[in-house]
Amino acid sequence: MLICLPVLAASFCPGLKSNRPLDRYHKLEGFTGFNNENMCEADIPGKAWAGAGPGVRCLELRFLRHNLRGGVMMKHTLSVLVENNPGVLARVAGLFSRRGFNIDSLAVGRTENPRVSRMTIVVEGDDFTLEQVNKQLHKLVDVIKISDLTKDAYVDRELVMIKVFAEPSSRAEIMQLVDIFRARIVDVGPKTLTIEVTGNSGKIDAFELSLRPFGIKELVRTGKIAMLRGYKNSIKGNNHKEEDVS
């Protein structure tokens, strides 16, 4: 069985002192250590890696990263309503790069109101950075409203299309994976299959990882889009969680 299990790193890797991207998702199986190029500090507050019993492959590890200020780096999903004016994307993107905020992903599209677009921005930073991101975004005249979905229960989705090498011998196995992940085959070539899958980033990461052994020829991935659960934005302070039904 494949499940996605967020695990905090500290107890898993006690005494870790390295400059690694602890916020990235790793596959536990075959996980080879922290030799990526980014940084992290090691005294990571966290919970024990629980719940991974036999038969469970952990596909998602989440690490907390500390920055120089000592703040905890976190990913936040911001939902930003903007006026659908020319240049608004440049304003937002420019603001992020100018002030040194990291955009992880950005997805833009219009809303139910054609004059208004929604940007879903995944940004990484500590509380201080997030506060500045929020306030600086608010200063843009075209920005109407910002909500940090991370504080509430929300549903998020990405779409990925993967063109994977598929020899006749491996097609069956690939199709099985497609089934498990509720993905769809959207194009069949002589040597490749093109597959689309939607889901949250954990699921998509997992899917990508499981296809990797076959050889991925090409991959495109949208930014994340997200929405609060329940009735509109009124669920602030409401702990009720609905099931993720996908």
Partner 1 sequence: MQSDVTKKVLRSQKGKVSKRKKEADQALLSGAEILIRSLEDEGVETIFGYPGGQALPIYDALYDSKINHILCRHEQGAAHAADGYARATGKPGVCLATSGPGATNLVTGIATAFMDSVPMVAITGQVPLSLLGRDSFQEADITGITLPITKHSYLVRDTSELAQTVKEAIYIATTGRPGPVLIDVPRDVSSGQAEYRRADKMNLPGYRPVLDADPAQVEEAARAIMKSERPVIYAGGGVVISGAHEELLQLAELLMAPVCNTLTGLGGFPGNHPLSLGMLGMHGTKYANYAVSECDLLIAVGARFDDRVTGDVETFAPEARIIHIDIDPAEIGKNVRVDIPVVGDVKRVLRQLLKSLQPRLNEAWRDKIMAWKKEYPLNYCEKGCLKPQAIIREICRQTEGKARITTEVGQHQMWTAQYYTFTRPRSFITSGGLGTMGFGLPAAIGVQVGCPDELVFDIAGDGSIQMNIQELCTAVNYDLPVNVAILNNGYLGMVRQWQELFYNRRYSQSELLNPDFVKLAEAYGAEGIRVTRPSELAPAIEQAINSSKPVMLDFIVDREENVLPMVPPGGTLNKMLG
Hey, which residues does 117 pair with through a beta bridge? 82, 110
**Shorter beta-carbon distance to partner 1: residue 117 or 120:** 117
Q: Alpha carbon of 91 to those of 88, 94, 96, 158: distances in Å?
A: 5, 5, 9, 24
Question: Does 130 engage in binding with partner 1 (CB under 8 A)?
Answer: no
Return the structure tokens found at 9: 């790193």
Does the protein bind partner 1 through residue 83 (CB under 8 A)? yes
Q: Identify which of residues 113 and 246 has a Cβ nearer to partner 1 in the complex.
A: 113
Q: How far is the CB of 130 from partner 1 (least distance, A)?
A: 12
DSSP string covering 199-217, please?
E-HHHHHHHHHHHGGG-EE
Residue from 90, 114, 190, 231 that binds partner 1 (CB under 8 A)? 90
Identity of the residue, 110 or 145, whose beta carbon is nearer to partner 1 in the bound complex: 145
**Closer residue to partner 1 (CB): 98 or 240:** 98
The partner residues of 193 in beta bridges, in order of sequence, read 164, 188
Q: Which of residues 96-125 bind partner 1 (CB under 8 A)?
A: 98
Please give the Cα distance from 184 to 208 (Å, whole number): 14
Q: Which of these segments, 10-18, 59-67, 138-146, 220-228, binds partner 1 (CB under 8 A)?
A: 138-146
